[in-house]
Chains A and B, each alone.
Chain A
């Protein structure tokens, strides 16, 4: 069913409900949150153009080295995931493999606003976030290859990247499970008075799990310094948000817990950065948690085994017009921070880094069979 057809059906249903008086309330709620409804690409574009001046302003205020790092991480993430898709098709990577293409601005904008000892936990779409936290492309790709040189020695694979040294608490495979784990990490930060904050990532489909609601309740009740980042890529596997969630705004769900919340355009890396900085400020000040709904779009299938029959090429193409890397480059150019030449250099650096990762992963040995029984117990 096309998106338009689905919407018509929903509207018809709403109109029917209006007759008994309930529909109006729903319409009011939708009208109130209309600003957050970016399912329509044209609306999103118009909203972004209004914001563009402020984005240029924030670019000018930001350290050039950091801006370069942000762009580099986004470009690296894109090339890395494209290489993963290629290697998956060649049979070099097994199991599930969820790619981050289209969502790079979320990881980069939020994580590069952290201090190095702040903690991060995420779901199974974790390769790029692991690298943004500082893990090498070599250790991530070797993990995808199931090799000894992988960040967890080949025991985790695509969904389970970890680095204690870099405070990257994983890569988790159960939808929503890490929302509770992240809440506990923030509990520890508060208990130890360590000053750390937690960035806890999850997809919009995880919001329908009980753990999301249990976690937000406790975090606000106990003032835990956790920043919940809902990466709304609009599809939970093959099911659109519209077909799975009774309400449109995820950010506003935090209102039910009296928690600070914000809706953010996930194609705008500077907007993500600034919203995260505001949330970090609240968390460091008095431990207040925040829910950020960051809307992006998943270009690829849910995983490499997803043929994507539930949406049209046209829909994907429209979102690709708002590609986060393209938007960021346009603004960097307009703000005269970097030239095309510098972009080319960044691109080449990223390609070279991915090539080194491939070489490392290819050459890394398979884990020794004795490793089967190590680390079952401490």
Chain B
């Protein structure tokens, strides 16, 4: 095992898949000569050149479309959005074209493409640069939505995403690029899409967290353990769509309590969907109403204190766990 940052784990995944398959190329703003706005593609252009690592003009709709057309014609593009906030410009290609092409062509044209980049908040970048898109893209059949929270998951899931024949929404988190973790050194290490991971085992309460809220939930679990001797299980679905609801339901059958921690806004969120599915599959196993910790229902403010007040935190997750456990 090597210890890598999430940034370097993603970089390794890209590098290995570029080497593995000649049809894989990375395209986006500043991915090549500049080494990537967040350095995820560092060194790749130097190693592989213009054909495999392609700088684009600032033309999100345009290069997303180039990716879709190229994928239909047999390539496997990895399209980087400098942030997912910019993907809104490209959403016609992602939703109206990539997501529906296989279906409306009667199964003839696959679109094996990965759209990736940082999702959610960063550090004081205000309203237009701090949004989380998993519920938005998760709503459309045809797309798969992936959200890693560790270095190993980032590498294994990105490699699976590139090898998958469907359009993949791969949501990273800028605040997490520097987080370190152990990553298997095997070139063929992959993690299947659609399989959740139990990040911490527990018996008294389940927290379902994803991306940035996973490390927060783990800290909250430690604190609850210490302060109240209550054992919290933390589940990371890793893939939002398809969602591994079975792992979540099995956990609730054991703990009978559920808190969902997410970085997106609450209204019509993935947390809302999980809550419905849990009610559908495990209503009789719940001993308390489900609680959610989400980002405040306001555009993201700039001021440091307001930003902190808007986002999920360890304290907010601890409070939610206390509430469902009647502590």
Asked whether any CB of chain A lies closer than 8 Å to the CB of B20, the reply is no
Asked whether any CB of chain A lies closer than 8 Å to the CB of B61, the reply is yes
Considering only residues 121-161 of chain B, those with a C-beta below 8 Å from chain A are 141-142, 144
B102 in contact with A376 (CB, 8 Å): yes
* Assembly CA distance A163 to B108 (angstroms): 7
Q: Hey, which chain A residues are within 8 Å of B59, CB to CB? A: 214, 217-218
Asked whether any CB of chain A lies closer than 8 Å to the CB of B85, the reply is no
Asked whether any CB of chain B lies closer than 8 Å to the CB of A172, the reply is yes
* Assembly CA distance A376 to B110 (angstroms): 10
**Residue-by-residue, is A209-249 near B (CB-CB < 8 Å gives 1, otherwise 0)?**
01100110110010000000000000000000000000000
Give the residue among A151, A156, A187 with the most B Cβ atoms within 10 A: A187
**Residue-by-residue, is A300-334 near B (CB-CB < 8 Å gives 1, otherwise 0)?**
00000000000000000000000000000000000
- A-binding segment of B63-71, B213-221, B226-234, B311-319: B63-71
Asked whether any CB of chain A lies closer than 8 Å to the CB of B86, the reply is no
- B-binding segment of A11-19, A30-38, A178-186, A345-353: A178-186
B65 in contact with A184 (CB, 8 Å): yes
State the interface size on chain B (CB cutoff 8 A).
41
Asked whether any CB of chain A lies closer than 8 Å to the CB of B109, the reply is yes
Give the residue among B67, B101, B110, B165 with the most A Cβ atoms within 10 A: B101
Asked whether any CB of chain A lies closer than 8 Å to the CB of B225, the reply is no
A180 in contact with B105 (CB, 8 Å): no
A177 in contact with B105 (CB, 8 Å): no
Q: Hey, which chain B residues are within 8 Å of A207, CB to CB? A: none
Considering only residues 71-113 of chain B, those with a C-beta below 8 Å from chain A are 71-75, 92-93, 96-97, 101-110, 112
**Chain A: which residue is nearest B90 at the CB level?**
A180
Asked whether any CB of chain A lies closer than 8 Å to the CB of B166, the reply is yes
**Chain A: which residue is nearest B62 at the CB level?**
A214
**Chain A: which residue is nearest B77 at the CB level?**
A184
Give the residue among A121, A156, A160, A191 with the most B Cβ atoms within 10 A: A191
B75 in contact with A153 (CB, 8 Å): no
Asked whether any CB of chain B lies closer than 8 Å to the CB of A169, the reply is yes
Q: Hey, which chain A residues are within 8 Å of B74, CB to CB? A: 188, 192
Shortest beta-carbon distance from B139 to chain A in Å: 14
Asked whether any CB of chain B lies closer than 8 Å to the CB of A39, the reply is no
Q: Given known contacts A185-B70, A187-B70, is B104 in contact with A177 (CB within 8 Å)?
A: no
Asked whether any CB of chain B lies closer than 8 Å to the CB of A344, the reply is no
B75 in contact with A188 (CB, 8 Å): yes
Asked whether any CB of chain B lies closer than 8 Å to the CB of A123, the reply is no
Shortest beta-carbon distance from B29 to chain A in Å: 13
Q: Given known contacts A174-B92, A188-B74, is B104 in contact with A217 (CB within 8 Å)?
A: no
**Chain B: which residue is nearest A164 at the CB level?**
B108
**Chain A: which residue is nearest B63 at the CB level?**
A218
Selected contact of A217 from candidates B57, B97, B107, B109, CB within 8 Å: B57
B65 in contact with A169 (CB, 8 Å): no
Considering only residues 331-378 of chain A, those with a C-beta below 8 Å from chain B are 374-378
* Assembly CA distance A170 to B101 (angstroms): 9
B68 in contact with A375 (CB, 8 Å): no
* Assembly CA distance A173 to B113 (angstroms): 21
* Assembly CA distance A174 to B99 (angstroms): 14
Shortest beta-carbon distance from B69 to chain A in Å: 2
Asked whether any CB of chain A lies closer than 8 Å to the CB of B56, the reply is yes
Q: Hey, which chain B residues are within 8 Å of A44, CB to CB? A: none
Asked whether any CB of chain A lies closer than 8 Å to the CB of B281, the reply is no
* Assembly CA distance A215 to B67 (angstroms): 12
Shortest beta-carbon distance from B188 to chain A in Å: 21
Asked whether any CB of chain A lies closer than 8 Å to the CB of B45, the reply is no
Selected contact of A184 from candidates B57, B66, B165, CB within 8 Å: B66
Asked whether any CB of chain B lies closer than 8 Å to the CB of A162, the reply is yes
Asked whether any CB of chain B lies closer than 8 Å to the CB of A83, the reply is no
B69 in contact with A184 (CB, 8 Å): yes
Q: Hey, which chain B residues are within 8 Å of A215, CB to CB? A: 62, 65
Q: Hey, which chain B residues are within 8 Å of A210, CB to CB? A: 61
A160 in contact with B57 (CB, 8 Å): no
Q: Hey, which chain B residues are within 8 Å of A211, CB to CB? A: 61-62, 65, 92
* Assembly CA distance A301 to B25 (angstroms): 43
Q: Hey, which chain B residues are within 8 Å of A184, CB to CB? A: 65-73
Q: Hey, which chain B residues are within 8 Å of A284, CB to CB? A: none
Q: Hey, which chain A residues are within 8 Å of B73, CB to CB? A: 119, 169, 184-185, 188-189
* Assembly CA distance A142 to B101 (angstroms): 20
Asked whether any CB of chain B lies closer than 8 Å to the CB of A152, the reply is yes
Q: Hey, which chain B residues are within 8 Å of A282, CB to CB? A: none
**Chain A: which residue is nearest B67 at the CB level?**
A184
Asked whether any CB of chain B lies closer than 8 Å to the CB of A68, the reply is no
Selected contact of A183 from candidates B62, B92, B97, CB within 8 Å: B62
B108 in contact with A152 (CB, 8 Å): yes
* Assembly CA distance A374 to B56 (angstroms): 35
Beyond known contacts A182-B69, A218-B62: 17 more, CB 8 A cutoff:
A151-B106, A153-B107, A155-B106, A156-B106, A162-B104, A164-B109, A180-B65, A180-B68, A183-B69, A188-B69, A191-B25, A217-B62, A218-B63, A375-B102, A375-B107, A377-B102, A377-B166
25 interchain pairs, CB-CB under 8 A: A121-B69, A152-B104, A152-B106, A155-B103, A156-B106, A162-B104, A162-B109, A163-B108, A164-B108, A164-B109, A173-B96, A174-B97, A180-B65, A181-B69, A181-B97, A183-B66, A184-B65, A185-B69, A191-B70, A218-B59, A374-B107, A375-B107, A378-B102, A378-B112, A378-B166
- In the A-B complex, the 3 residue pairs with the smallest Cβ-Cβ separation, listed nearest first, are A184-B69, A180-B65, A214-B62
